[in-house]
Structure 1
Amino acid sequence: MAHIEDEHEKVWDLAEKIGFCMLTTQSGTDLRARPMAAYAERLENAFYFLTDVASHKDEEIARYPNVCLAFADSKGQKYVSISATAEVQNDREKIRDLWATPAKAWWDSPEDPSIRVLKITPSAAEYWDSPGTVISYIKMAAAAVSSSKPDMGDNAKVQM
């Protein structure tokens, strides 16, 4: 059981460290991704995002609540993909709790009536955590010479 708990912690640690992700929603038959600042709430098993009521995300999520969060630190060779369910909330207290510098680029204050909260509840995740770009290239080069497969770090699928 400790191993499963460690994998859960690894998902949360990587997502929190990376901070920004691509939020993918479904729009009809198309998938749309956009960069978002993620607020991870481990104890609630949720990620939160601030969004605008006028954005298309709200409509897409209302119709198709399954979403994907893709976190990427390409320099550190660390990645997390989270399958989840999303819901749009008009929780003014949560908006005030989440209010931070990135939000100031979009709204004047947390009291702006057009702000909404996206609550994302993860169901499954997969992460890739390699030792970094330079070491990865060295391992790949060594594997190519020796005809073996390189050890590229940790990878796990996790039920959330």
Structure 2
Amino acid sequence: MKNEKNIAILKEKIDEVRICLFTTVDAKGAFSSRPMATAKVEDDGSIWFFSNEYSLKSAEISKENEITLGYSSPSNNTYITVNGKAELVDDQVRKESYFSAAVKAWFPDGVEDPRLILIKVTPASAEYWDSSSSKMVVVFNILKALVTGTQYEGGDHDQIKF
């Protein structure tokens, strides 16, 4: 039950932030990151993205599918990391269901674009930090911790294992 609750929290936070740094491993073993928009987070925690099947990112996933996603919304004090495995999926039903006007900027031919592929990320673990407080409240609480000699408590934090 706790995992279902945490997946729901993770889904809500990712839906709020939407853009992540999608990190793969290149042919030389170095990390390679690029910003990507989340298309969908399903109830099982799987995270979906649109991509070009012939991109460098897709080639990297085909060789080494361990990835990391990093979401950040400093204005909302929300931070999320997801570690998992990525796979390329050609699923016409999902393409049609998840496609949006924003995706059309990269794929003007829509869901019929022959380059269009989905990336499914199956999380192994995730971690999030979230303080719904305003920046003023966060600064005040940091100063309060410094003055009182207590440890700053920055809000919600949890780890999720899948």
TM-score by length of 2: 0.91
Secondary structure of 1:43's partner? Answer: coil
Q: Report the counterpart of residue 97 of structure 2 in structure 1.
A: 97
Contact 1:45–1:122 at 8 Å: present in 2 too? yes
Q: Report the counterpart of residue 11 of structure 1 in structure 2.
A: 10
> What is the CA–CA distance in structure 2 between the aligned matches of 1:129 and 1:88, rounded to whole Å?
31
> What is the CA–CA distance in structure 2 between the aligned matches of 1:44 and 1:146, rounded to whole Å?
43
1:142 equivalent to 2:144? Answer yes
1:67 offset after TM fit, Å? Answer: 0.6
CA distance 1:4–1:111, shift in 2 (3 Å): closer
> What is the CA–CA distance in structure 2 between the aligned matches of 1:49 and 1:145, rounded to whole Å?
45
> What is the CA–CA distance in structure 2 between the aligned matches of 1:47 and 1:154, rounded to whole Å?
22
Contact 1:37–1:102 at 8 Å: present in 2 too? no
Contact 2:84–2:124 at 8 Å: present in 1 too? yes
Amino acid at match of 2:24: T
Q: Report the counterpart of residue 42 of structure 1 in structure 2.
A: 42
Contact 1:20–1:35 at 8 Å: present in 2 too? yes
RMSD: 1.5
Q: Deviations over 1:37-92 (max 9, x none)?
A: 10233224311111012210111001110111111111010111111110012223
Contact 1:15–1:40 at 8 Å: present in 2 too? no
Secondary structure of 1:29's partner? Answer: coil
1:95 offset after TM fit, Å? Answer: 1.7
Secondary structure of 1:75's partner? Answer: helix
For structure 2, list consecutive stretches of 5 or more residues without a partner in the other structure. Answer: none
> What is the CA–CA distance in structure 2 between the aligned matches of 1:7 and 1:89, rounded to whole Å?
26
Amino acid at match of 1:110: V
Contact 2:19–2:37 at 8 Å: present in 1 too? yes
Q: Report the counterpart of residue 87 of structure 2 in structure 1.
A: 87
Secondary structure of 2:138's partner? Answer: helix
CA distance 1:6–1:89, shift in 2 (3 Å): closer
CA distance 1:15–1:139, shift in 2 (3 Å): same
Identity %: 24
> What is the CA–CA distance in structure 2 between the aligned matches of 1:6 and 1:47, rounded to whole Å?
16
